[in-house]
Amino acid sequence: MADRKGAIQYERVFIDTDDFGTEYLDNLEASLKSFQKDSLRFLMINDLAYHYHSRNLNKSLEIIHQGLEEVRKVKHKLWEGRMQVTQGAILLRMEELDQAELVLLSAKEKIPEEEAWLLLTNLGYVHERRGDLSKAFEYATQTLKLGEKNLDKKAMAMAYSDMSNLFWKQGKFEKGAEYGKNSIALFEERGLYDLDFDFTLHVLGNNLVELQRYDEALTYFKRSAMIGEKYGFYNNLSDTYIALTALYSQIGDFENAEKSGQEALKYAELLQNDFMVVRSLLSLGQAKNLVQDYPSAETYLLRSLNTAGEFFGDRFYLSLIYQELSKAYEGQNNIIKSFEAYKKFHELNAQVFNSEADQRIAQLQTELDVSQKESTISLQTAKLKQQANIQAFTLLLTGLMVFFLFFLYRVFVKRKKYSFLLEKKNREKEFLLKEIHHRVKNNLETISSLLSLQTAQIEDQELQDIMIESQNRVQSMGMIHQNLYQGDNLAAIEMKQYFFNLGRYIIDTFDANKRVTFECAMEPFELDVDRAIPIGLIVNELVTNSLKYAFPGNGNGKITVSLSEFNSHLHLKVTDDGIGFDRESESKGTGFGTQLVNLLTKQLDGKMTLITTKGTQIFFEFHLAKAA
Residue 76 sits at the vertex; the CA angle it makes with 74 and 77, to the nearest 5 degrees, is 140
pLDDT at residue 590, as a whole number: 60
Across the chain, what does the average pLDDT equal? 82
Tell me if 15 sits within 8 A of 34, measured CB to CB.
no
Rounded to whole angstroms, the Cα distance separating 349 from 340 reads 14
- The amino acid occupying position 413 is V
Tell me if 506 sits within 8 A of 547, measured CB to CB.
yes
Name 618's bridge partners: 574, 610
Residue of higher predicted confidence among 306 and 22: 306
Encode pLDDT of 228-241 as tens digits. Answer: 888 888 888 888 99
pLDDT at residue 95, as a whole number: 81
Mean pLDDT for 532-558 is 86
Tell me if 542 sits within 8 A of 597, measured CB to CB.
yes
The yes-or-no verdict on residue 567 having pLDDT over 60 is yes
Q: Which of 170-184, 395-409, 530-544 is least confident?
A: 395-409
Nearest to 94 by CA among 46, 52, 131: 52
The yes-or-no verdict on residue 49 having pLDDT over 80 is yes
Torsions phi, psi for 618 (to 5 deg)? -125, 125
pLDDT at residue 140, as a whole number: 92
Mean pLDDT for 260-272 is 89
pLDDT at residue 3, as a whole number: 44
pLDDT at residue 112, as a whole number: 93
- The amino acid occupying position 246 is A
- The dotted CATH code for 1-111 is 1.25.40
3-state SS, one letter per residue, for 485-538? HHCCCCCEEEHHHHHHHHHHHHHHHCCCCCCEEEEECCCCCEEEHHHHHHHHHH
Residue of higher predicted confidence among 361 and 162: 162
pLDDT at residue 427, as a whole number: 64
The yes-or-no verdict on residue 5 having pLDDT over 70 is no
pLDDT at residue 433, as a whole number: 54
Residue of higher predicted confidence among 454 and 199: 199
pLDDT at residue 157, as a whole number: 93
Mean pLDDT for 544-571 is 88
Nearest to 473 by CA among 512, 447, 435: 447
pTM of the model: 0.54
Q: Tell me what percent of the residues of the chain surpass a pLDDT of 90.
A: 31
Mean pLDDT for 447-462 is 72
The yes-or-no verdict on residue 444 having pLDDT over 70 is no
The yes-or-no verdict on residue 6 having pLDDT over 50 is no
Classify 610 as helix, strand or coil. strand
Q: State the DSSP code for 17.
A: B
Rounded to whole angstroms, the Cα distance separating 131 from 135 reads 9
Classify 6 as helix, strand or coil. coil
With cut-offs at 50, 70 and 90, classify the pLDDT of residue 584: low
The yes-or-no verdict on residue 161 having pLDDT over 50 is yes
Q: Which of 21-30, 31-40, 57-66, 144-153 is least confident?
A: 31-40
Domain ranges of the chain: 1-111, 495-628
Rounded to whole angstroms, the Cα distance separating 550 from 557 reads 8
Rounded to whole angstroms, the Cα distance separating 472 from 536 reads 11
Question: Where would I find the H helices in 251-354?
Answer: 254-271, 274-290, 294-308, 315-331, 335-352
Q: Tell me what percent of the residues of the chain surpass a pLDDT of 70.
A: 81
Residue 299 burial (CB count, 10 A): 16
Mean pLDDT for 16-40 is 77
Q: Which of 3-7, 361-365, 452-456 has the highest mean pLDDT?
A: 452-456
Encode pLDDT of 307-342 as tens digits. Answer: 888 777 778 888 899 999 999 999 999 988 889 888
Mean pLDDT for 617-623 is 89
Encode pLDDT of 349-380 as tens digits. Answer: 877 665 444 555 555 556 556 555 555 555 56
3-state SS, one letter per residue, for 359-411? HHHHHHHHHHHHHHHHHHHHHHHHHHHHHHHHHHHHHHHHHHHCHHHHHHHHH
Q: Residue 525 half-sphere exposure, CB side, CA atoms within 13 Å? A: 20
b/e per residue, 466-489, with b = 16+ CB within 10 A?
bbbbbbbbbbbbbbbbbbbbebee
The yes-or-no verdict on residue 469 having pLDDT over 60 is yes
pLDDT at residue 405, as a whole number: 67
Rounded to whole angstroms, the Cα distance separating 5 from 193 reads 31
With cut-offs at 50, 70 and 90, classify the pLDDT of residue 94: confident
Residue 533 sits at the vertex; the CA angle it makes with 528 and 538, to the nearest 5 degrees, is 125
The yes-or-no verdict on residue 22 having pLDDT over 70 is yes
Encode pLDDT of 509-531 as tens digits. Answer: 888 888 899 999 899 888 888 88
CA-CA distances (angstroms) from residue 117 to 92, 149, 334? Answer: 16, 11, 49
- The amino acid occupying position 445 is E
Q: Which of 188-202, 350-364, 477-491 has the highest mean pLDDT?
A: 188-202
Rounded to whole angstroms, the Cα distance separating 212 from 210 reads 5
Same fold? 1-111, 495-628: no
* CB neighbour class for 105 (10 Å; exposed up to 12, middle 13-18, buried from 19): middle
Residue of higher predicted confidence among 432 and 135: 135
Mean pLDDT for 421-433 is 63
With cut-offs at 50, 70 and 90, classify the pLDDT of residue 417: confident
Rounded to whole angstroms, the Cα distance separating 53 from 491 reads 52
Encode pLDDT of 54-93 as tens digits. Answer: 888 888 999 999 999 999 999 999 999 999 999 999 998 8
With cut-offs at 50, 70 and 90, classify the pLDDT of residue 403: low
pLDDT at residue 355, as a whole number: 46
Tell me if 544 sits within 8 A of 590, measured CB to CB.
no
Rounded to whole angstroms, the Cα distance separating 28 from 38 reads 16
Classify 628 as helix, strand or coil. coil
CATH 3.40.630.30 assigned to 495-628: no
pLDDT at residue 487, as a whole number: 62
CA-CA distances (angstroms) from residue 253 to 220, 245, 288, 417, 508? Answer: 18, 9, 12, 62, 21
pLDDT at residue 213, as a whole number: 93
pLDDT at residue 381, as a whole number: 60
